[in-house]
Amino acid sequence: MKAGLDDLNPEGRRVLVRVDFNVPLLEDGGIRDDARIRACLPTIQELRSRSARVILATHLGRPKGKPVEALSTRPLATHLSELLGSEVSWCSECVGPVAEAAAGALADGEVLLLENLRFHPEEEANDPGFAAQLAALADLYVNDAFGTAHRAHASTEGVAHILPAYAGRLMERELAALAGILESPSRPLVAIMGGSKLSTKLGVIDHLLPRVQQLLLGGGMAATFLVAEGVSVGRSLVEPDFVARASEILGRAPSLGTEVYLPTDVMVAAGPESTAAEARSCLVEEVGGEEMILDVGPATAQRWAELVRRAGTVVWNGPLGVYENPAFAGATRQVAAAIGESSAVSVTGGGDLQAALESLGLASKFTHVSTGGGATLEFLEGRELPGVEALRERVALP
């Protein structure tokens, strides 16, 4: 188990906290969704209450190693000030003399937000010199950015080898929730895999297949599995190079005691922009040559809702349809609502599904909504995350 805030004394010390404030922005530069910022508030507030001098470091967008005014973190400091009800100072640099002066000027309980880490190419290159410059700002390091823990960057991995490194509260919650799925889930364990492409989910499916009792396959990638079953899917998104892998998964599941569920009916239309009036439900065998599968059908959604109501644990990654269009959000809504009504431990991860659940007002119904996208997938694949591995281990008391 990784060491956390319970294992350090931050009083009067400068604490560099890696957060993931990579939030979606509006065209005018405002924040469209501050969920990732709010997720880190417990760590920030606890450190403040324990008289730490808090230095926050994050990336925002993809500036590709150079300053981009539209991706400055300055507006994030203003927003965080409002959330905390206390001023958060901002520094125009994240390393160097200006940043060191700003960090050195902090008093106990004060918070400083640094400029975008990825304005420097050395960040993503995990440059040792850049990591040393970050470490020079603080006495301790806390990683509360699970969403970036699968990246070996200077601020997520490099600095953790220089300063005493601990997990923040969000990081602890993420690791506990996801580890519980792999190590000691309440059964039956049901996995729901959606999203557009099978190729991005193969590792997760392979790792979960021997562990789950039921695997529900929806979203765009269901079409590739249907093709593997000999079903014609019209103009639906199919990955021809992965049809054989889909067939192999379907063939292997019975020997593992895993029931795999593909849609038996679907919602189809000419394209993702089609209206509800232009869409129709049909059996998978009845998809027209010019139609696309855009959602799981109502009969399948009802059946899957019944399965998750009886589950002990549900893990879900990827929406079941093109949720951005209300005409194709029905299955995601129905299954999510059923999970919310059940007694199952429910864990979901991935930006698209999180956005879908937020838009449907159902995110709060889940036991844990992971802030990670790629990090969540890699953890569920059984892979080590560099940003986690670099943290200190908790020392067991005698």
Domain boundaries, given as residue ranges, for the chain: 5-170, 177-380
Mean pLDDT within 389-394: 93
Task: Report the pLDDT value the prediction gives residue 391, as an integer from 0 to 100.
Answer: 96
Task: Report the pLDDT value the prediction gives residue 397, as an integer from 0 to 100.
Answer: 46
Look at domain 177-380 and name its CATH class: alpha beta
Q: Do the domains spanning 5-170 and 177-380 agree at the CATH topology level?
A: yes
Mean pLDDT within 348-355: 79
CA-to-CA separations, 223 to 120, 135, 232, 319, 330, in angstroms, rounded: 41, 48, 9, 14, 18
Would you say 329 and 323 are in contact if contact means Cβ atoms under 8 Å apart? yes
197 is catalytic: yes
Active-site annotation holder among 197, 280, 309, 365: 197
Mean pLDDT within 1-19: 96
pLDDT > 80? residue 119: yes
What band does 377 get if pLDDT is binned at 50, 70 and 90?
confident
Sheet holding 265-269, edge to edge: 280-283, 265-269, 292-296
Task: Report the pLDDT value the prediction gives residue 33, as an integer from 0 to 100.
Answer: 84
> Comparing 376 with 16, which gets the higher pLDDT?
16
What band does 152 get if pLDDT is binned at 50, 70 and 90?
very high
With the C-alpha atoms ordered 112, 116, 120, 125, is the resulting torsion angle positive or negative?
positive
With a pLDDT cut of 70, the percent of the chain lying above it is 99
288 is catalytic: no
With a pLDDT cut of 90, the percent of the chain lying above it is 86
Mean pLDDT within 197-213: 94
How high is the mean pLDDT of the chain?
Answer: 95
In the chain, the largest separation of any two C-alpha atoms, in whole Å, equals 69
Mean pLDDT within 83-107: 98
pLDDT > 70? residue 396: no
Task: CATH number for 5-170: choose from 3.30.2350.10, 3.40.50.1260, 1.10.274.30, 3.40.640.10.
Answer: 3.40.50.1260
13 is catalytic: no
74 is catalytic: no
Task: Report the pLDDT value the prediction gives residue 361, as an integer from 0 to 100.
Answer: 86
Ranges 22-31, 150-159, 321-330, 383-392: which has the least confidence: 22-31
Active-site annotation holder among 168, 194, 350, 351: 351
Active-site annotation holder among 13, 109, 374, 394: 374
Alpha-carbon distance of 265 to 218, in angstroms, equals 11
Residue 333 sits at φ, ψ, to 5 deg, of: -65, -45
What band does 398 get if pLDDT is binned at 50, 70 and 90?
very low
Active-site annotation holder among 2, 14, 18, 36: 36
Mean pLDDT within 183-210: 93
Task: Report the pLDDT value the prediction gives residue 191, as an integer from 0 to 100.
Answer: 96
